[in-house]
Amino acid sequence: MFRSGLLAASTTRMMTRSSPLAGRMIVRAASTTATQQRQTNQSTTSSPAPSTIYKIYHYSSYSLLALMPLGWALAPAYSMPIDLVLNVIIPVHTYLGMEAIIGDYIYAPAARYSAKAALAVVTVLMTLGLYKLNTKDVGISQSVKLLWKDTTTHSARK
Amino acid sequence: MLRTTLSISARRAIIGATFRPHIIARCASSTPSYTIVETKPEEIKKKQYPTSPHLTIYRLPLPAWLSITFRGTGMALSAVFAGVGIGMLGASHELVYYINQLQQLSPLLPALMKFAIAFPTTYHFVAGARHLMWDSKPWQFLTIRKAFASGYIVMGLTAVISIALAFTTF
């Protein structure tokens, strides 16, 4: 629906404007369904198959989308398994995201290598720290909720 | 030079270009057949030519601002999680003790800290959902008008949720 309006409007504007291409413009069908568009795009583009690391990043994003609100809702009583899963997924998502950012902006091999090494060290330390937060302290989800808790009247572990 | 040679309507059109999708949609053409090629960073030779100024000249459209904010909030959240994790490794008290000590420094700090945590989290969450939507069905969701429309929804949802969270206590 959107695409048909977009195409019709743009081709009409291009046709009525006096430009060198006006006479040579080929008028296409005004409406293409979503299926037709997908088939067109899949037949004209070729992209490399997603690697395992990309799939890990993709599924970690979906997991975080589901688990962060669930952890917030279930904390602190039933959030222990969610906190342990988050203990792994948050550092993985952090590492892969920051690795993409470093790869985008830092080109010199020495600077890039040392930045990625520092990132790996920080990620490992972060995992250990979050594990300590999960076992010795209240847990990741409840720790986020602590900012909103009125700790003068409520206990931190409720 | 811009101020003296452009009419007032042309200036309004340029200022509105950030928020108006039809100005970009007019430049959109049909999809030709192409192959995606990627230049690896290792292949970039040491001698690099300077790039011509672009960010200092052209006004970015709304999806571009939302994209860089998405990246910035991701970096901020990484810093917060890494800071809390590494800080708690060597800490002698529990996290609630440090939070209380910080919040007692000023009466403004509780709301400010809540907003400082809530805003990047909700923005990254909502914009991340938008990204995953694009990844699942790009032929249906990744059009210019829908990018602007979903961008407005992201801004509205983030504003409402983060401001609401900044002023609640439970």
Q: State the count of interchain CB pairs (< 8 A) between A and B.
A: 129
User: In the prediction, which pLDDT does A5 show?
Assistant: 41
> In this structure, is the dihedral angle defined by the CA atoms of residues A91, A143, B85 and B100, taken in order, positive or negative?
positive
- In this predicted structure, the answer to whether residue B13 has a pLDDT above a threshold of 80 is no
One-letter identity of residue A45: T
Q: Which residue is it, tokens 């938008």?
A: B130
Cβ distance B96 to A112 less than 8 Å, yes or no, reads no
Contact assessment for residue A99 and residue A60, using Cβ atoms and an 8 Å cutoff: no
Q: How deeply is B130 buried, as exposed, middle or buried, from its count of CB atoms within 10 A (0-12, 13-18, 19+)?
A: buried
Cβ distance A38 to B125 less than 8 Å, yes or no, reads no
DSSP H helices, chain B, are: 2-5, 8-16, 21-25, 62-89, 95-103, 109-136, 138-141, 144-166
pLDDT band at B4 (very low <50, low <70, confident <90, very high): low
The Cα-based distances of B75 to A84, A140, B81, B98 in angstroms read 22, 19, 10, 23
Task: Report the complex ipTM.
Answer: 0.74
pLDDT tens-digit series, residues A18-56? 555 444 445 444 555 666 655 555 555 666 788 899 999
Is any Cβ of chain A less than 8 angstroms from the Cβ of B144?
A: yes
pLDDT tens-digit series, residues B68-84? 999 999 999 999 999 99
Cβ distance A156 to B28 less than 8 Å, yes or no, reads no
Torsion of CA A83, A87, A91, A92, to 10 degrees: -90
Minimal Cα distance from B40: which residue of A?
A103
Largest CA distance in chain B: 66
Which chain A residues touch B28 with a CB distance below 8 Å?
Answer: 6, 10
Cβ distance A138 to B95 less than 8 Å, yes or no, reads yes
pTM of the predicted structure, to 2 decimals: 0.74
Which chain A residues touch B74 with a CB distance below 8 Å?
Answer: 97, 101
Cβ distance A150 to B169 less than 8 Å, yes or no, reads yes
